[in-house]
Structure 1
Amino acid sequence: MAGPSTEMARKPRADAVRNRERVLEAAKAVFSAGGSEASLEAVARRAGVGIGTLYRHFPTREALYEAVYRREVEQLGDLAEQLQSAPEPVDALRRWLRANVEFVATKKGMVAALALVAAGSSELHAYSFDRLTKAIGTLLARAVAAGAIRNDISAEDVLRALIGMCYMHDQPGWQTTALRLLDVFVDGLRVQSAGTATGPQESKPARKKASLKPSR
């Protein structure tokens, strides 16, 4: 049975975890609004902690950016796991990809700030690429196993396509375009039934009928 001294030792750790989470949540909001120039003092105020507490957890601005970045990547990974139980595997994949577009759309300031960190850290870039490709891979594999999506595309292919769709995130109206392209992309991955006709195939009967006309 734990004694009073043990309980007292545990409490600071629990408080520290809560404070860290509060700082990360506050940083996400402040960075979203203020981008790479956001004040760390503003983060501390929003989190309800002193600036000293913030620096104990994150000694540099870059350390805080990296922690927020990793947290967001983990949340996207968690979302992929939650979507594993969705009844329609193709819809689950689509919903996860749309969540990424919506993340970029609503967190433009934060995306700009986090890009500075990710670009300067090969380890962080490798981590995020690995975590996101695994997230895609679980959803993609389920759709392929269900016979709903072609099996000749990789998770890396899908991630690169997603990055390309979000590339112009600083341009007006980009989100509408990205979501439309995303739907076209996902629909293009679907396995077509043998009896599904395409444009060129539909024109064949017309050409055959024309060839039966008597020549003059």
Structure 2
Amino acid sequence: MAARSGQGTGLRPDAARNRARILQVARERVAGGDNSLQLNVIARLAGVGVGTVYRHFPDRHALVEALSVERFRELVEQARAASSAEDALEGLRGLLRFTLDLALDDPDFATVLSSAGDARAQTSGMKAELDEAVAVLLDRARLSGAIRGGVEADDVRRLLCGVEHAVRSGEGERRELYLGVLLEGLRPPR
């Protein structure tokens, strides 16, 4: 089906409006402090049937992925900038800090970032873009002797999600320490 909504989604205009309204209501709920994102509540508040919500977002995770698109775009842009930093290790340090801040600010985004399975092809594509930019950065850092061999972009993403979990469970007091431990662990063995 050709895209008619102007959003490149391939949805009919009424379906695109419904999807946009569902996302708007979900964003408002999250901004208001309700992260439960119960699909039946979202449907009622959006003025659509529950079946309409499930057609667009088969489960809560799919909705969370759709809400995470802007965060992923920010992160991919930051990763690309870090991959061209003059000092690769400083670029990596800045990227890790930026990513940790995003994950701590938005636990649902952290869940999507660490998830092994994606509900939407767009999420998988964004993870691939992120991993590609991080791989360039890691290659540069390896060439300069700043990090050990064998560490891939996906490893860094998962390790950082572990740091996010540790920081969150400790109420954020040891954020810099944990980030430093991660960076030290990426260095070549002595």
Do both proteins adopt the same fold according to a TM-score greater than 0.5, normalized to the shorter chain? yes
> RMSD between aligned alpha carbons?
4.3
Relative contact order higher in (CA < 8 Å, ≥ 6 apart): 1
Partner of 2:34: 34
Map residues 56-71 of structure 1 onto 2, 5 A cutoff.
58-62=56-60, 63-69=62-68
Give the Cα separation in 1 of the matches to 2:28 and 2:138.
Answer: 31
Q: Which has the higher helix share?
A: 1
- How many pairs does the alignment contain? 170
- Structure 1: unaligned runs, 5 residues or longer: 1-8, 45-49, 193-197, 199-216
After superposition, the Cα gap between the structure-2 partners of 1:72 and 1:51, relative to the gap in structure 1 and judged at 3 Å, is: farther
Give the Cα separation in 2 of the matches to 1:35 and 1:15.
Answer: 26
Give the Cα separation in 1 of the matches to 2:165 and 2:70.
Answer: 22
- Structure 2: unaligned runs, 5 residues or longer: 10-15
Name the TM-score, length of structure 2 as normaliser.
0.61
Map residues 1-216 of structure 1 onto 2, 5 A cutoff.
13-14=5-6, 24=23, 27-28=26-27, 30-31=29-30, 33-37=33-37, 39-40=41-42, 44=46, 51=48, 55=53, 58-62=56-60, 63-69=62-68, 72-108=71-107, 110-111=108-109, 118=115, 122-124=117-119, 127=124, 130=128, 132-145=130-143, 147-155=144-152, 156-168=154-166, 170-173=168-171, 175-190=172-187
Give the Cα separation in 1 of the matches to 2:146 and 2:184.
Answer: 9
Give the greater-gyration-radius structure (CA). Answer: 1
Name the TM-score, length of structure 1 as normaliser.
0.55
- What letter is aligned with 2:136? T
Percent identical? 23
